[in-house]
Amino acid sequence: MAIEYAIWAVYKHACLRFHRTLAFLCYIFVMVLNTLILNSIFSFSRTKLSFKTKLLQIILVVIVAIVGDCLVDLFTSHPLLKCISDNSTHFFIAVISWMFIEELDFSVILFGSPLLCGMMASFVDLDHFVAARSFTIHEATSLSFRPILHWTTLPVTFFVFLVILALAVHSVKLYKFAWFILTAFGTHHLRDGYRRGIWIHPLPSIPPFPYVIYLIGLVAIMLSFNFVMYHPLIMNCLQETQRRDDLPVLQTKFSKIQTV
């Protein structure tokens, strides 16, 4: 009976949320479908995923977001279960988002960068305990202010710094690491934003926005990050510079072999 009640409660909460966002979800689906069709034709990425895989990842991240928030609402009177549900939702959203952005298949979900991205998105909430100076969930979730890792200006500034540094040292790995961090923090802050707003001091903070805007923003992050990260103006610049740096080394080694 307990399991049946839990399933029914999740179903009821999902229906309430889905009823409010049905039209907008249809709009998201059409928008994503059109974008993926254009992306499959004019993709900047060299490692393309199939159209079905990309569409499945976007549908999956929307489902995870809705189901996760339904579980959070369901466990309102159970702080521990609510905390676990909330943090797990952050984790899986970041995992799927990075898989789409980096264009990775589902076979790598149990290891590699997607798992690390999800862990980073989950670890953001640890600053609640640091700010509260306590390990109790009640005190960590009863703060009267936003902890430092929820300051959106911080990861954005760090992202800009890493991109500039990557272009200066011509490092593709460092460039992708910048997007990795922005994805982990961006998905976390966007999900928190529909309930508490987005803190971008010294600029005016963004007030809480409708749930539908959050879902649209989540899909927009996946599509836009994938589009910009693989832009040829940046990727070609980084890769061509690396080839030029490697060429003299190969020539030097080859000349040494000839001399011997």
Q: Which two tokens stand for residue 20?
A: 């409010």
Q: Is the pLDDT of residue 50 over 60?
A: yes
Using alpha carbons, select from 195, 67, 17, 127 the residue that is nearest to residue 75: 67
* Percent of residues, the chain, with pLDDT higher than 70: 73
Cβ-Cβ contacts under 8 Å for 11 (sequence gap 6 or more): none
Residue 248: what pLDDT? 46
Cβ-Cβ contacts under 8 Å for 200 (sequence gap 6 or more): 151, 152, 153, 156, 206
Q: Is the pLDDT of residue 217 over 90?
A: yes
Residue 178's alpha-carbon distances to 117, 211, 254, in angstroms, are 12, 27, 36
Lowest model confidence (mean pLDDT) among 6-20, 184-198, 206-220: 6-20
Averaged over 184-190, what is the pLDDT? 97
When mean pLDDT is compared over 32-46, 103-117, 241-255, the highest value belongs to 103-117
Separation between Cα atoms, residue 252 and residue 67, nearest integer Å: 59
Q: Is the pLDDT of residue 150 over 80?
A: yes
Using alpha carbons, select from 162, 201, 159 the residue that is nearest to residue 184: 159
Averaged over 56-77, what is the pLDDT? 93
| Residue 251 banded pLDDT, cuts 50, 70, 90 | very low
- Phi/psi region, residue 34 (left: phi>0; alpha: psi -120 to 50; beta: rest), is alpha
Cβ-Cβ contacts under 8 Å for 242 (sequence gap 6 or more): 170, 172
Separation between Cα atoms, residue 173 and residue 186, nearest integer Å: 19
| Residue 89 banded pLDDT, cuts 50, 70, 90 | very high
Q: Which two tokens stand for residue 187?
A: 């998905």
Average pLDDT, the chain: 81
